[in-house]
Amino acid sequence: MVARSIFLLGLWIALACAQKLGPIPGETQADPSLHEAIVLAIGAYEHAAPGGKRLPEVVNTQLLGSDSRSSHEIWTVLRGEQEFRYEVTRLRDGRGASGISVRPIRARSHFGD
């Protein structure tokens, strides 16, 4: 069962990587070498959602803040005709390596839930 899950995950990543990633719009400061990893991380959330894609279409990025150790951005993707937002945090260590964290931003309803 575990081997099958690992195989399916590998297949999913291979299929997602086989698709062409276009330019990322907006004001992202993420290094271009990280764009694919960020889109694949968002795609893991999107693929699980009804109508979501493994390789979602990024329609905007917005820089929230940046310093020498981290940056915080909002990446917006299109699912059907609706936009969904993800918080992308990039952390840098002192040796030049970067790590990323991606999490969906829960939409607020008009009813406060």
Distance of CA 19 to the CA centre of its chain: 15
- Domain parsing of the chain, residue ranges: 2-104
Q: Mark residue 34 as left, alpha or beta (left: phi above 0; alpha: psi -120 to 50; beta: remaining).
A: alpha
Alpha-carbon distance 11 to 16, whole Å?
A: 9
Per-residue pLDDT of the chain (113 residues; tens, 9 = 90+): 556 555 555 555 555 555 567 889 999 988 888 899 999 999 999 999 888 888 899 999 999 998 888 899 999 999 988 899 999 999 887 776 678 999 999 765 545 54
Integer Rg of the chain from CA = 15
Q: Which two tokens stand for residue 26?
A: 């907006």
A 10 A CB-CB count for 34 gives: 16
pTM for the full predicted model: 0.74
